Structure 1
């Protein structure tokens, strides 16, 4: 599919600043959040040197949409996806287009509308415990708090059996951050021998990954042995069958559960942390949020039924995810000689695109560096080009859990804002931390009672 029009030809450019041996990789590694958005000035499609290889950066909305709507030509692959396969295996987020439809069918029932209330109830319970644990004047590292919250919520949604699930949830909370950090190092330091050295970071990564594999294997074995319906994601995945009546193997189940962990922990945690920092810097938006949650909740914890009555809170979520999309950089690989934006792309080429860079395009989002939740009113959304915001990717590979993540984040922000105000600690400035996901890093905030 080519979404260009005849009177709007695309431009092919070359990324500036390439150096011998490394090409443009050093520019990307040093300052990706400024360098990648700047490439749209070089062309709609830009050639990028990554070492000896030539990759292609899709810079503009139209070209990214062309890329996303041709999943069989531009399949999952490239530097980002290849490194993610280290932990996610061949799950629904990383598998080939040829198997994606089958694998998605096993997970789809877990994300039906009738399941959302069940999962948001888990968020309601855990966010209630979190806000009860805070004390006025307490200083918290906001990303750590949100990560602990989303890890507990995601793990319980996966493993609800209280007899064996509690230990699994605790292990996920312990090990997943170490694995995720290890993937980041391997993504941006593509020198294999460095990751085989007998140093602490490599040892901790391997041990944590093994513990996660072990806990998932234990849970799968326990669920297969008792044969009971536990009303959770693992039960749904184990019960699934394809058109030929064949279910997933234990290895395939492991890959899907690791994919759900990666999507369910880091994306909402980073988005929540960003939202609270942005609110602390934007008093007008914070006042509107507080007015809404006070009117709807009156100090109580939000529930699934409250979601429809929290439109401004949901706008805050959408705008935080636009400004700081946790999945900030994505890759694809051309499976055959093809064209993109009308230019030839050889088979095997990596194609890069960045939700962060796209969301900073002023032709799509005027004053893109400003936090403006009102961008997400119904009228404003209708006026946007379709696919202008790709926080959860797009096309047939759009994230299965996008609606759930959005609802859970809305419930969490409303519940916290009903009781507490979070303030940035003086002397600490916000600098987005670029890892496997985009986050606020170790930003401290002070908890104030409302």
Structure 2
């Protein structure tokens, strides 16, 4: 191991550790207060999770060093290890040695013509959702946005006539599985999760049903090889460029689960936070409504409207900066190495938090303020490259980042063209750090716009 050129990065020690548990209590009880404060301890901060040592990358430069060295800092650590319960070895969780091959298999599903098709699905589903609301009704915004994105993602995966039951099954079971994955993330005790408790039984049954849906659709598609405009068809047609072999059923299963997890929670969370922030910032809402009315005139948005909705896109970018759905990321050092000029032993967990990074006052002026205009070209150019890592970075950056931004923008514009979602007086929210960053319950009144 050869030490790199020394740089002026500080190695600190996290405060608040206790015997046996280390820093697990503040990490899991109050992470959104605890993690941003670690930047005051150093650029790289050593902490303990139980009896294991981990290193928190606290500053932009150190995080980028991790993201751009994926073979040294590979997918792994507590978060990724738990996510593999659901995602297996999909493109989001597989080791670096497999990633390029997996990415090539799935990349055709995110080409421009297919993005346009997925945006049409969003158009159809958001029209149906908004049409189901009643003036003066009260909805839970998070539940409604998750219902929307689950249906869009399931229809992206399966478009065959036989898929209606599959879409409904995904919508019923995915929320149960996602909740169970988070529970296993914060309480990493396998024996506890093997007990026949009601929550464990619900998780096991829901996961089995999701597996059954994918297996059933795989069997049907292999039997009927019609050319359909969906993700499963793309994966079945994919071939290894060197061997000519296709993907196994297990590989396809893992990629579908990966797309499901990313396609539901990221846009649903982004939309929910956007509506909350608009309700809290009437000046921003007025500007957004003026743009939406000028461009759409009351109709739902289409992909062709995106260039004419720059302010709406800035609102989305700022909502995702303040409240990135993936708030905590882990990697594992695969060899003895150096990070931020300090030695890191093989096997160490490397952790970093987009939520904390996006609130760094040395990068963002008034980081707690909701300011869509910080993303105007003349302002954004002052920020470091990859200042936000909502969708990761380097070669492991999420393949669906463009699609997620487009979906959230189109849904936000379409809904606000017809409705104002008003916060209930007196209801206050506090960000809830689960498997994704949520608002918790967010009741809002549906106010029809003439």
TM-score normalised according to structure 2 size: 0.98
1:161-240 equivalence runs, <5 A: 161-162=160-161, 164-240=162-238
| Partner-residue secondary structure (3-state), 1:131 | helix
Matched, 1:347 2:346: yes
Cα offset for 1:191? 1.4
1 CA distance for matches of 2:115 and 2:55? 38
2 CA distance for matches of 1:383 and 1:120? 31
Unmatched 5+ stretches in structure 1: none
1 CA distance for matches of 2:269 and 2:413? 16
2 CA distance for matches of 1:425 and 1:22? 40
Cα offset for 1:37? 0.4
Matched, 1:33 2:4: no
Deviations 1:165-223 (A, max 9, x none): 10110000000000000010100101111101111000000000000000000001110
| Partner-residue secondary structure (3-state), 2:412 | helix
In the other structure, the counterpart of 1:50 is 49
1 CA distance for matches of 2:263 and 2:377? 26
2 CA distance for matches of 1:145 and 1:432? 18
In the other structure, the counterpart of 1:73 is 72
Deviations 1:254-284 (A, max 9, x none): 0000000000000100110000000000011
| Partner-residue secondary structure (3-state), 2:425 | coil
In the other structure, the counterpart of 1:449 is 448
1:232-271 equivalence runs, <5 A: 232-243=230-241, 244-271=243-270
Kindly report structure 1 stretches of 4+ aligned residues shifted beyond 2 Å. none
2 CA distance for matches of 1:70 and 1:248? 27
The two structures, once aligned, show a CA RMSD in angstroms of 1.0
2 CA distance for matches of 1:161 and 1:100? 29
2 CA distance for matches of 1:301 and 1:426? 28
TM-score normalised according to structure 1 size: 0.98
Unmatched 5+ stretches in structure 2: none
In the other structure, the counterpart of 1:425 is 424
Cα offset for 1:5? 9.2
| Partner-residue secondary structure (3-state), 1:385 | coil
Deviations 1:362-388 (A, max 9, x none): 111111111101111122222210111
Matched, 1:281 2:273: no
In the other structure, the counterpart of 2:414 is 415
1 CA distance for matches of 2:441 and 2:426? 13
Deviations 1:394-425 (A, max 9, x none): 00000000000000100000001111111111
| Partner-residue secondary structure (3-state), 2:319 | helix
In the other structure, the counterpart of 1:21 is 20
| Partner-residue secondary structure (3-state), 1:91 | coil
2 CA distance for matches of 1:414 and 1:30? 35
1 CA distance for matches of 2:438 and 2:132? 24
1:285-364 equivalence runs, <5 A: 285-364=284-363
In the other structure, the counterpart of 1:380 is 379
Deviations 1:128-165 (A, max 9, x none): 01111111111000000000000000000110002x21
Cα offset for 1:250? 0.2
| Partner-residue secondary structure (3-state), 1:302 | coil
1 CA distance for matches of 2:132 and 2:173? 23
CA contact (8 A) 2:80 2:330 kept: yes
1 CA distance for matches of 2:138 and 2:234? 40
Cα offset for 1:434? 1.1
1 CA distance for matches of 2:225 and 2:442? 45
2 CA distance for matches of 1:264 and 1:354? 20
Cα offset for 1:15? 0.4
2 CA distance for matches of 1:374 and 1:25? 37
Deviations 1:84-111 (A, max 9, x none): 0000000000001001000000110000
| Partner-residue secondary structure (3-state), 2:381 | helix
Deviations 1:58-81 (A, max 9, x none): 000000000000000000000000
